[in-house]
Amino acid sequence: MVVVTGREPDSRRPDGAMSSSDAEDDFLEPATPTATQAGHSLPLLPQEFPEVVPLNIGGAHFTTRLSTLRRYEDTMLAAMFSGRHYIPTDAEGRYFIDRDGAHFGDVLNFLRSGDLPPRERVRAVYKEAQYYAIGPLLEQLENMQPLKGEKVRQAFLGLMPYYKDHLERIVEIARLRAVQRKARFAKLKGLTVDHQCIGVCDKHLINHYYCKRPIYEFKITWWVIASQGWSVHFRDSF
Band of pLDDT at residue 111, cut at 50, 70 and 90: very high
Q: Considering the domain boundaries, does residue 1 fall inside one?
A: no
Q: What is the CATH number of the domain that holds 125?
A: 3.30.710.10
Residue among 107, 47, 99 at smallest CA distance from 72? 107
Amino acid at 219: K
Least confident of 98-112, 118-132, 133-147, 210-224: 210-224
Q: In terms of residue numbers, what domain contains 164? A: 159-237
- For residue 31, pLDDT beyond 60: no
CA 54 – CA 63 distance, rounded (Å): 5
- For residue 127, pLDDT beyond 90: yes
> What is this structure's pTM?
0.55
**182-196 average pLDDT score:** 43
The pLDDT, as a whole number, for residue 212 is 43
Top mean-pLDDT range of 5-9, 25-29, 105-109, 188-192: 105-109
- Mean pLDDT (the chain) is 70
**Structural domain total, the chain:** 2
Last residue of a domain, one of 116, 144, 172: 144
One domain for residues 218 and 175: yes
One domain for residues 131 and 165: no
CA 214 – CA 196 distance, rounded (Å): 7
Alpha helices, H only, 59-162: 66-69, 76-80, 104-113, 122-131, 135-142, 147-158
One domain for residues 164 and 136: no
Residue among 62, 67, 66, 68 at smallest CA distance from 92? 62
CB contact at 8 A, 210 and 187: yes
**Which residues lie closer than 8 Å to 12 by C-beta, 6 or more apart?**
18, 19, 22
